Structure 1
Amino acid sequence: MRKVHQRRIAAPAARIGPLLDRLGGPDDPLWPAPAWVPMRLDRRLAVGSQGGHGEVRYHVVEHEPGERVRFRFEPEVGLDGWHELRIEPAGAGWCVVTHEIQARPRGVVRLLWPAAVRWMHDAVVEDLLDNAELIGTGEVCRPARWAPHVRLLRRAFERSVREVPVPAGAALLAEVGAGREWPLADAWQAPLPEHVTDDPRAWHRAIFRTVPAWVGVALVLRNALVPVLGIDQGDASSFDIAAADEREVLVSTPERHLDFHASILVEERSVTLSTLARPHNAAGRLYLTVVRRIHPVVVSTMLRRALADLADLAPSAGEREVARRHTSPA
């Protein structure tokens, strides 16, 4: 299996080449994070450096500073082979940036590569080439655009959202929940990537105002069915902010059938969505019995969607590099 991505850029190789040598570092100007999982190496780019992006691990086997770097995949990846990035002169004031992968898939990767991984690979590399062009020329003539199926795959392969205990730092939630038993009390946590907003109000909007399509359909069905139980139909105001501070936002919805509270806590490296629910009557108990079975899927999906959406809104590596150069002393 071989794939080549190439971009001709109106900038000399001497301008683009130094960007290559910062790959995998804390100020990497090329790899498209936080929209994608960042590339991280255990040391400055050099032969022997080890790292990868997410579960895709590799190490540097060849490096020509400013010109080329080749990474060989680790055995556990399921790809026997390598991928490399190279920068070559292409006439006066021009260069060509090329990414090439040559590998033989093994095991389950033989199925995953054509079905899913290939499409995400293509999107990552094209975003990387956008960054190189932006830094080299100040603009991108034809920016890469993700196809709808790439967006779906990106969210489906997001593995970083996990269930955790309700955090002690969720003070607003602790205040409303003190002294009571809560039959439903859970929390789901996502990492807070570098350069993604740490404003809890922004996370509130991303979680509760732009829900995944299937969650929206489920809410419509919920509102159509609950009157049978004597439960009020909800609307968008059910998720309005009831209290907030600089780190946490609290949503509180006291209903006849149950009390519901949700907290969004943004800490240094994580965002946690916690839920408390307590029924008041038989209708509430029946409702909660049903809801708690799908609640983990709904909440984790909403948090995963918010993480992807806010990562998309964050400045790209190329935009950050351009801004840094504009603000740095000459």
Structure 2
Amino acid sequence: MMKINTVAFPETSVLFPDRLVYDYHDSFRADFPDIENTTISQLVNTFFSGTPRWIKNLFILRNALVKLIGLKVPENNSAPVMTSNIEYQVGDALGFFKIIHMTQNECILGEDDKHLDFRISILKEKGTLTVTTTVQYHNIWGRLYFIPVSVFHKKIVPAMLRNTVREKQ
């Protein structure tokens, strides 16, 4: 089985300078020897479209629950279609993840809501793929919301990272 490592916040990430502002952050890394032959758009596409069924079901449940209390939910629960030639741009949306920043080696997705702001970095570096998540709470509801989310998050991100590397190798 492929090893996914918890690592320090990557200094090469666009999010790094603000790392002390975040209330929560984590980073997971996988070895990916042939990463140079894969574009950042392909990695983002595979990361979100290769989501295991159990994770999709959790998102459907999450969306149904948070809609009741007025939080943002995506218009539909479908994942993007995997296409080898897709090229994402700043402003594109993948569910409730909006692309905020994009370079050749990193894509920052996220959303700002009344209870918290979050960012996800998908960072391609020589021989590795790193996914970093940051969260900044706005109020007690953000903290309370993230308690159960953090439990699942620590299982979901490594699973999606593992699937991405497996699919692209």
TM-score range, shorter chain: 0.7 to 0.9
Aligned to 2:113: 255
CA distance in 2, matches of 1:198, 1:268: 11
2:165 to 284, 307, 319: 307
Given that 2:35 and 2:128 are in contact with CA atoms closer than 8 Å, whether structure 1 keeps it comes out as no
1:1-330 superposed matches below 5 A: 157-158=1-2, 160-170=3-13, 172-174=14-16, 177=18, 180=21, 182-194=22-34, 197-235=37-75, 236-311=94-169
1-structure distance, mates of 2:96, 2:11 = 25
Structure 1, unpaired ranges of 5+: 1-156, 312-330
Quote the residue 2:85 is aligned against: none
CA contact (8 A) 2:27 2:132 kept: yes
Distance 1:195 1:284 in 2: 35
Distance 1:241 1:218 in 2: 22
- Cα displacement string for residues 31-70 of structure 1 (whole angstroms, at most 9, x for unaligned residues): xxxxxxxxxxxxxxxxxxxxxxxxxxxxxxxxxxxxxxxx
- How many residues in Structure 1 have an aligned counterpart in Structure 2? 151
Instruction: Work out the CA distance in 2 between the residues paired with 1:179 and 1:187.
Output: 14
Stretches (4+) displaced over 4 A: none
SS of 1:225's equivalent?
Answer: helix
What is the CA distance between 1:200 and its match in structure 2? 1.6
Q: 1:263 to 1:195 in 2, by over 3 A?
A: closer
Residues 298, 283 of structure 1: alpha-carbon distance in 2 compared, 3 angstrom cutoff: same
Structure 1 length normalisation: TM-score?
Answer: 0.43
Q: Find the aligned partners of 1:191 and 1:289 in 2 and give their Cα distance.
A: 29
Deviation at 1:215, TM superposition (A): 0.7
Structure 1 CA distance for aligned equivalents of residues 124 and 35 of structure 2? 14
Larger Rg: 1 or 2?
A: 1
- Which amino acid counterpart does residue 174 of structure 1 have in structure 2? F
Q: Percent identity?
A: 27
User: How far has the Cα of 1:195 moved from its partner?
Assistant: 6.7
Paired residues of 2:117 and 2:136 also in contact (CA < 8 A): yes
8 A contact 2:73–2:96 mirrored in 1: no
Report the alpha carbon displacement of residue 178 of structure 1 after superposing the two structures with TM.
Answer: 5.5
The answer to whether the 8 Å contact 1:197/1:310 transfers is: no
User: What is the RMSD computed on CA atoms of the aligned residues?
Assistant: 1.9
Q: Write the distance in 2 (CA, Å) between the matches of 1:214 and 1:169.
A: 32
Equivalent residue letter for 2:42: A
Q: Displacement of 1:198 after TM fit?
A: 3.7
Q: CA-to-partner distance for each residue in 1:297-317, whole Å, 9 max, x for gaps?
A: 000000001111111xxxxxx
Q: Is the 8 A contact 1:230 1:283 kept in 2?
A: no
